[in-house]
A and B are shown apart, each in its own frame.
Chain A
Amino acid sequence: MKLKHFLNLEWKQFFRSASFGKSVALNILMVFFALYFIGMFLLMGVALYPLLKEVFPDQDPFAIVNTYLFFYFLGDMVLRFFFQKLPVMSVKPLLPLPVKRNKVVHFVLRKSAVSFFNILPLFAFVPFSIMLLLNGYPTLSVLIWFLAIMVVTLVVNYLNFIIESFSSETELSFLPMILFAGSVFALNYFNIISFSDLIAQGFTAIYNNPIFIAVPILMLVGLYMTNFKQLKSKLYLDSSLKSKVAVVNASSMEWTKRFGDIAPFMQLDLKLLWRNKRSKSTVWMLLLGLLYGLFFYPQPMYANMPWFFAFIGIFVTGIFLINFGQFIPAWDSGYYKMLMSQNIKYEQYLKSKWVLMTMSVIILFVLSIPYVYFGWKILLAHFAAAVYNIGVNTHVILYGGSFNRKKIDLNQRAAFNYQGTGAVQWIIGIPLMILPLAIFGVTYLVAGFEIGCVVLTVLGITGIVLHQKLMTFITKKYLDSKYKMIDAFSQD
């Protein structure tokens, strides 16, 4: 079994999957994003040196860059945690074949080294290093420094997988990462332990004395070995097949009976959310969404940008809607055939999802009321955004679901599949947030803040009034694509 066989398998997996058409469209979008970032990094790499020279004429630009490396790597780590997935490969069919386990693991790990996240820094640091050389810095030292940057990038790469595998074993998903990054940042910020100085000193030491590059290289080797061990231990069938048997925690959920004929579906949805790892993380996502406003509102910079409030409002009150809604009906893909052969009213099935999303918006709005501390305008904007979410976004996302052709395997705990969400899933949320931002932004500029809120609210109420009509239309869309969905969901 050679490398080319593995690559061949990957290639076929990509081109032969049922969601191929959709992946292509998304991939094109991803390419644009990638090009944008490459451009930005390139620009930064070229312009950074002269810019720093001009702004801080009495300081060494190289030294300034070194002091900011800490923030760069910390940001890198957080971004990777959310967007970079360990390359997934379906290993089960390979296990009984004469392929050495070591080879499979090495392949997966090495493949991750050519990730976009590791290539992107090249576009900034290569031109920056060239600028250094052009400005008379010693060649060998600069090259070693550059090498050290790349090695540390890889260190972050492999460290990330360890953190991901650790956090995937707890129910808290991303909380440990946020906690870790937050506390490191705080320790640095309050000068308790100055990581930025430590990192800067480290890189300066490597720059001055090439021998010190051994330190990051040893770290890299150590992390690679740790990853290797960890993955290899997961490469046995029993670890992926024989998942531990969960003890059932059953409740009758009598309160859902109030919703009448959609009650069985609501019970099912709630159990779905709570009993599967993948969907459970969308519940934890609520916490992150709710705190999202805290990143912005305390800063005076944003206090003067009220057009931004509606966007945050959409996000804060709609985080569950976006995360849960975008996978309708894929959540039920595992037993979709059964649902379709049962005596169900499609509209009730969809209505249950709608009620769930609407309830989440209302609950999140209520929980976000304390933001009024930062100004009554925020409360007003959040209210308008919540109404818009209920009236418009719920229907938009349900409609979008009728194009959903990608199966979610709730039961599977694939050995390499740590994170449920990749960059692709985040992109789908964009139209849901950009559109109201545009509507609000334009009306705000033309007619003022209050009118902007009124427009969003009116749009939302229109959606609520038309709810029955919209649902009938959406249901028809789902019925039309019934056979296609069944077909796509029964593929692996």
Chain B
Amino acid sequence: MIATHNLSKSYGNKTVLKIENLDIPKGQSFGLVGNNGAGKTTYFSLLLDLIKPSSGHIKSNDIMVHESEDWKPFTSAFIDESFLIGYLTPEEYFYFIGELRGQNSADVDALVSQFKDFFHDEILGQKKYLRDLSKGNQKKAGIVAALIGNPEVIILDEPFANLDPTTQIRLKGIIKDLAEKQGVTVLVSSHDLMHVTDVCERIVVLEKGEVVKDLATNEATLKELELHFTGNEDVEA
């Protein structure tokens, strides 16, 4: 589904991302972990063509991401709050995204109604603008908006941060369901090793812009990751 080849991104002579080969098959739930500055958000931004690669390319469904825009209809993302339109209500925002993705308001209503639990009565029918919601509720709205329009690739940057425990657990359920039952390729980044190992079939560790580990998740993965990151700290200390 997503093929990364010889990809690099540099600012001046500082290389922030360098991935030689990374293939993510369709329907995989893919986790990206790494410390700050490891290149997680850079990789996602390149996937969404928000920044230009210095070399190499990403192909999504055999479409060159930085050359064509044809990947947009089947890709959706929530990177941060700047993906929200503050002066709209959550409903209006969902409808707007829906229209951009060719869904009418009935389609959107049908989809959004599945997430009643997830919203916990704090999003819909509140007569509030998105800018007036709390950070956590904004995030919930953004994540659900990324599910509108049956995307085949969903990119979520740090989806667990800022969420309360109940919502984190529910979100894990949603992501698992998407990948396992609906065949959606889900890309998630996180600082929380436990959450990623719970959710993702495959976990890639980035360090200073390079892939240092590529693991298929099993019982030992969490231990291995923890060891890896403690090891790093020891070296740095």
B161 interface contact, C-beta 8 A? no
Q: Is A246 positioned at the interface, with any CB of B under 8 Å from its CB?
A: yes
Q: Which of B50, B102, B127 contacts A486 (CB 8 A)?
A: B50
Q: Is B49 an interface residue (CB 8 A)?
A: yes
B158 → chain A, closest Cβ, in Å?
15
Binary interface profile of B, 107-142, with partner A (CB < 8 Å = 1, else 0)? 000000000000000000001110110000000000
Interface string of A262-280 (1 = CB under 8 A from B): 0110011001100110000
Given A340-B50, A483-B51: A248 touches B85 (CB 8 Å cut-off) = no
Q: Give the docked Cα–Cα distance between A169 and B153 (Å).
A: 45
Return the contact of B72 from the options A275, A337, A342, A486 (Cβ within 8 A): A342
Provide the bound-state CA to CA distance between A36 and B100, in Å. 50
Residues 308 to 364 of chain A near chain B (Cβ within 8 Å) = 334-338, 340-344
By the criterion CB–CB under 8 Å, are A334 and B129 in contact? no
Do residues A341 and B86 form an inter-chain contact, with CB atoms below 8 A?
no
Provide the bound-state CA to CA distance between A45 and B40, in Å.
64
The residue of chain A having its C-beta at the shortest distance from the C-beta of B66 within the complex is A483
Cβ-defined contact, B82 with A337, below 8 A? yes
Residues of B within 8 A of A338 (CB): 82-85
With A275-B129, A341-B75 as contacts: A483 and B85 at CB distance below 8 Å: no
B99 touches A264 (CB 8 A): yes
Tell me which of B25-33, B89-97, B168-176, B204-212 binds A: B89-97
Q: Is A192 an interface residue (CB 8 A)?
A: no
Q: Is the CB of B100 within 8 A of A335?
A: no
List of A residues within 8 angstroms of B82 by Cβ = 334-338, 490
B88 at the A interface (CB under 8 A): yes
B52 within 8 A of partner (CB): yes
Q: Which of A245, A276, A343, A411 contacts B101 (CB 8 A)?
A: A343
B residues contacting the other copy or chain, number (CB 8 A): 32
Cβ B86 vs Cβ A410 within 8 A: yes
Closest to B79 in A: A337
Inter-chain contact B84/A335, CB cutoff 8 Å = yes
Contact for A342 among B84, B86, B88, B100, CB less than 8 A: B100
B86 engages A411 (CB within 8 Å): yes
Q: How many A-B residue pairs have CB under 8 A?
A: 82
Assembled-state Cα–Cα distance A247/B127 (Å) = 6
Q: Is the CB of B72 within 8 A of A245?
A: no
- How far does the alpha carbon of A335 sit from the alpha carbon of B83 in the complex, in Å? 5
Q: Is B87 an interface residue (CB 8 A)?
A: yes
Does A114 reach chain B (CB closer than 8 Å)?
no
Tell me if B200 is interfacial: C-beta within 8 Å of chain A: no
Complex Cα distance, B158 from A74, in Å, reads 56
Cα A268 to Cα B84 in complex, Å, equals 13
Are the C-beta atoms of B77 and A248 separated by less than 8 Å?
no
Q: Are B127 and A276 in contact (CB under 8 A)?
A: no
A250 within 8 A of B: yes
Interface residues in A223-281 by Cβ distance below 8 A to B read 243, 245-248, 250, 263-264, 267-268, 271-272, 275-276
A250-B89, A250-B92, A264-B96 known; A343 vs B84 contact (CB < 8 Å):
no
Contact A343 B50 (CB under 8 A): no
Taking the closest CB of chain B, its distance from the CB of A486, in whole angstroms, is 5
B147, CB-defined interface residue at 8 Å: no
B48 sits at the interface (CB 8 A): yes
Known A-B contacts A250-B92, A276-B87, A335-B84; the reply to A343 vs B100 at CB < 8 A is yes
Closest beta carbon of chain A to B140's beta carbon, Å: 16
B89: A residues at CB distance < 8 A? 248, 250
Closest A-chain residue to B126, C-beta based?
A: A248
A209 to B127, CA, bound (A): 63
Residue from A245, A263, A336, A342 within 8 A of B132 (CB atoms): A245
Q: Given A337-B50, A490-B82, A411–B73 Cβ distance below 8 Å?
A: no
A74–B88 CA distance with the chains assembled, in angstroms: 41
Q: How far is the CB of A9 from chain B (nearest CB, A)?
A: 25
| Cα distance A337–B97 in the bound complex, in angstroms | 14
- Chain B neighbourhood of A267, CB < 8 A: 96
Given contact pairs A246-B129, A490-B82, A341 touches B77 in the complex (Cβ within 8 A): yes
A392 to B69, CA, bound (A): 30
Please state if B51 and A268 are interface contacts (CB–CB under 8 Å). no
Between A and B, 19 residue pairs with Cβ closer than 8 Å are: A243-B132, A248-B128, A264-B96, A271-B87, A271-B92, A275-B87, A275-B129, A337-B48, A337-B83, A338-B83, A341-B50, A341-B75, A342-B97, A343-B73, A343-B101, A344-B100, A410-B86, A486-B50, A486-B51
Q: Which residues of B contact A (CB under 8 A)?
A: 48-52, 69, 72-73, 75-77, 79, 82-89, 92, 96-97, 99-102, 127-129, 131-132
Name the 6 nearest CB pairs between A and B, nearest first.
A338-B83, A343-B72, A264-B99, A275-B87, A341-B48, A248-B127
Supply 12 further A-B pairs (C-beta < 8 A) apart from A245-B132, A268-B96, A486-B51.
A243-B132, A248-B129, A334-B85, A335-B82, A335-B84, A337-B48, A338-B82, A342-B101, A410-B86, A411-B86, A411-B131, A483-B52
